[in-house]
Structure 1
Amino acid sequence: MLGILTGLAKEAEIARRISPLVACSASDPGRAAALARDLISRGATALLSFGIAGGLAPELATGDLVIGAAVATGGALYACDPDLAARIAAVLPHAVRGDVWGGDVIVDTAAAKARLHRDSGAVIVDLESAAVAAAAAEAELPFGVLRAVADPAAHGLPPAALVGLDSEGRPAIGPVLRALARSPSQLPALIRLGRQSSAAMAALLAAAGALGGRDLRGVA
């Protein structure tokens, strides 16, 4: 069975259209590592990192789908399973293939994104793919990445977007409102990010609808 790891509750809801074996880390890299291993203990025979991502490559736009070729971290490079990637690409032919940066912190400025793209060659960044890659490598299982770009490379994240999630992977509304009260000028950027995230979620929903019930390396 395919085990899917997400960072957000809404991503997890969408992922269940592909497989019933889903875990949500609330965008906590430490928790993601534990949950990736837990998916394997619950019977996953392959892993998928699934959700929205930050764009690093300037040619990627909000809503573009990316199928991982490899996951790079500060200390390792993990190749995604080519057969799993090919099966996903066969269903989603317009998706881009590229390397993913498995981060442990949010990359929140356009300048930082540009540096990371230049130094790593990765086209997107997220907080779950490193955990999925490491757990799969440890267990000698195939893994893949399917992500939709939310904030593109030219856009940073407003501070109010960085105040975290609740334990279920949903936005922490109280802290967001308090951050806005301290700095109301970030409201336009926060609204823009909300629209970008909604567009990325819509792309994920369409992808999940196409993938649901498909044989992804015999584990769907």
Structure 2
Amino acid sequence: MARLRAQGRASLTGGARLALSGLGAARAETAARALVADGVDGLVSWGCASALVPALAVGDLLLPREIVTAAGPRLAVDAEWHARLTDRIGGGARLRHGALAETRGVLGNAANKQALHALSTAIAADRESAAIAAVAVEFGLPFIVVRAVADDAVMTVPPVARAALDDDGALRPLRVLRRLVRPPAGRHAELRAIKQLAVAFRTAQRTLDAVAPLLLDTEPDGDT
């Protein structure tokens, strides 16, 4: 399958539908609404997340039972779908069910992550899941969240890495190079952080790759 761009959609095995939203709540909502228009009967928020507590390690699989929205309300995932997927995964993965918090910006350092945990009691956070869940609630569809930890509770996401991501969430190496040809103080620290983050994202991706077939086996009747 050709690489999708933001807001692109594709069909998967068994009739499931995939949409690449890109980064942020607004894009996630747009993609979710497009899938609903395609006739899906369930929504999955799929991707990476930031750990808010030290107990989580890079690559841990997150299957939260609820989402804590930035506005405060909590949205529960579909209990039956969640239970089926948990049973299929079994005990071989580092599986976590704690709440996932919505964040409206990048949690770039440990202090920001600690503050969000204290506010929400969630163990991890992302920018898209709450928006997808809200669309599912609006249309009366089941939804679940499947995310993998890409940065742990103490990892700093350097500004150069944030600047290098495009709207699809893909890394654009030329953006990194443009920043580093005129490096600020601390260039070596930023380079080390970028390398650490790249390794962490690959670890998270391996977790998601392993669980993808199990998710398709547990989807609701019809498309997802």
Q: If the length of structure 2 is used for normalisation, what is the TM-score?
A: 0.85
1:73 alignment counterpart: 69
TM-aligned CA deviation for residue 17 of structure 1: 6.3
User: 2:49, 2:148 within 8 Å by CA — same for their partners in 1?
Assistant: yes
Distance 1:195 1:87 in 2: 31
2:143 alignment counterpart: 143
Q: Deviations over 1:1-40 (max 9, x none)?
A: xxxxxxx97xx99x95686411112213211111111111
User: 2:23, 2:168 within 8 Å by CA — same for their partners in 1?
Assistant: no
Distance 1:73 1:211 in 2: 24
User: 2:157, 2:193 within 8 Å by CA — same for their partners in 1?
Assistant: yes
TM-aligned CA deviation for residue 192 of structure 1: 0.3
TM-aligned CA deviation for residue 52 of structure 1: 1.1
2:81 alignment counterpart: 84
Higher-Rg member (1/2): 2
Cα separation, partners in 2 of 1:180 and 1:122, compared to 1, 3 Å: farther
1:5 alignment counterpart: none
Q: CA RMSD in A?
A: 2.4
2:200 alignment counterpart: 196
Distance 2:45 2:145 in 1: 5
Q: If the length of structure 1 is used for normalisation, what is the TM-score?
A: 0.86
Q: How many residues align?
A: 210
Distance 2:15 2:176 in 1: 32
TM-aligned CA deviation for residue 167 of structure 1: 4.6
1:170 alignment counterpart: 170
Cα separation, partners in 2 of 1:125 and 1:45, compared to 1, 3 Å: same
1:28 alignment counterpart: 24
TM-aligned CA deviation for residue 147 of structure 1: 0.5
Distance 2:168 2:218 in 1: 29
- Match 1:53 to one of 49, 56, 70: 49
Distance 1:58 1:68 in 2: 17
Cα separation, partners in 2 of 1:59 and 1:167, compared to 1, 3 Å: closer
Unpaired runs of at least 5, structure 1: 1-7
Matched, 1:102 2:102: yes
